[in-house]
């Protein structure tokens, strides 16, 4: 470090800077809250499926088993989307700081395009081959397969839109707008899904859990698309001003 000539270091540089720490924490809060939200929702979802499953033809064990498998399958798809959104961050951050807004918009657009293609493929698999996918994890009764098929097709119906929320959340974090990033990271899991998991089963029983997932996906995607579109329009106005 002492021989690092391009950026001389002093003792003061090694001391904690609380203002910078606050900014770093704000930018990392979106990802942190998202992971916390997933945990809270999963606990609530498991308890809800067990409770209302006991009153259904499936019993308490089939919904819980299917949910665990389907959540893991969905995470394989979602890991690709998370990878795309994280790969977007350094590109957007650098170009936004350099005021190259055209590159920022193009990177955001291209990431959404690739994410949509991946999401459509996942949607097709979930809708067309739910029985085959669940079959990879072992055999079960006809009721087991029936619930798994319904869960795939209803709960994950808006999979083709699911890329918009995480990509947009990381997009806002990348340009330093941490508040919007945090809000978007919480929309699907906490703001929409958690209340719906509690409320809808009161009226629709265990099917209400499935409707909760698709409703939350759609609402989160619409909000993310709207905020992303507004931000793009703002950057385009800056580009016109610079000209």
Q: Say which residues have a Cβ less than 8 Å from residue 156's Cβ, sequence separation at least 6.
A: 70, 74, 123, 126, 213, 214, 217
pTM of structure? 0.85
> What is the pLDDT at residue 18?
87
Residue 13: the pLDDT is 79
**Domain locations in the chain as residue ranges:** 28-242
Would you write out the chain's pLDDT as a tens digit for each of its 243 residues? 667 677 777 788 788 888 888 878 877 776 777 778 788 888 998 999 999 988 888 888 999 888 888 989 999 999 999 999 999 999 999 999 999 999 999 999 999 999 999 999 999 999 999 999 998 888 888 999 999 999 999 999 999 999 999 999 999 989 988 888 888 888 888 889 999 999 999 999 999 999 999 999 999 999 999 999 999 999 999 988 876
Cα 165 from chain centroid (whole Å): 6
Q: How many secondary structure helices (H) and strands (E) does the chain include?
A: 9, 0
Q: How far apart are CA 215 and CA 4, in angstroms?
A: 54
Which of these, 134, 120, 131, 125, lies nearest to 68 by C-alpha position?
A: 134
Contacts of 125 by beta carbon, 8 Å cutoff, 6+ apart:
133
Two tokens, residue 127: 């809708």
In this structure, are residues 134 and 63 in contact, taking their beta carbons and an 8 Å threshold?
no
Check residue 31 and give its pLDDT.
Answer: 72
């Amino acid at each position: 470090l002492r021989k690092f000539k391009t950026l001389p270091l002093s003792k003061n540089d090694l001391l904690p800077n609380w203002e910078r720490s606050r900014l770093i924490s704000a930018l990392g809060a979106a990802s942190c809250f998202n992971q916390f939200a997933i945990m809270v929702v999963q606990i609530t979802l498991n308890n809800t499926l067990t409770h209302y499953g006991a009153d259904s033809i499936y019993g308490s064990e089939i919904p819980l088993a299917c949910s665990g498998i389907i959540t893991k399958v969905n995470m394989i798809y979602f890991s690709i989307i998370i990878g795309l959104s994280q790969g977007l961050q350094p590109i957007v951050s650098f170009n936004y700081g350099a005021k190259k807004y055209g590159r920022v918009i193009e990177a955001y657009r291209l990431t959404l395009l690739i994410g949509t293609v991946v999401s459509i493929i996942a949607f097709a698999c979930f809708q067309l081959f739910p029985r085959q996918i669940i079959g990879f994890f072992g055999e079960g009764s006809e009721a087991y397969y029936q619930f798994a098929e319904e869960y795939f097709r209803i709960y994950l119906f808006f999979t083709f839109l699911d890329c918009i929320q995480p990509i947009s959340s990381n997009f806002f974090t990348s340009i330093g707008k941490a508040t919007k990033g945090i809000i978007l990271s919480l929309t699907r899991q906490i703001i929409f899904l958690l209340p719906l998991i509690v409320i809808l089963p009161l009226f629709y029983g265990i099917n209400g859990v499935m409707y909760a997932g698709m409703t939350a996906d759609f609402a989160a995607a619409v909000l993310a698309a709207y905020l992303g579109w507004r931000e793009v329009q703002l950057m385009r106005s800056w580009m016109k001003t610079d000209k």
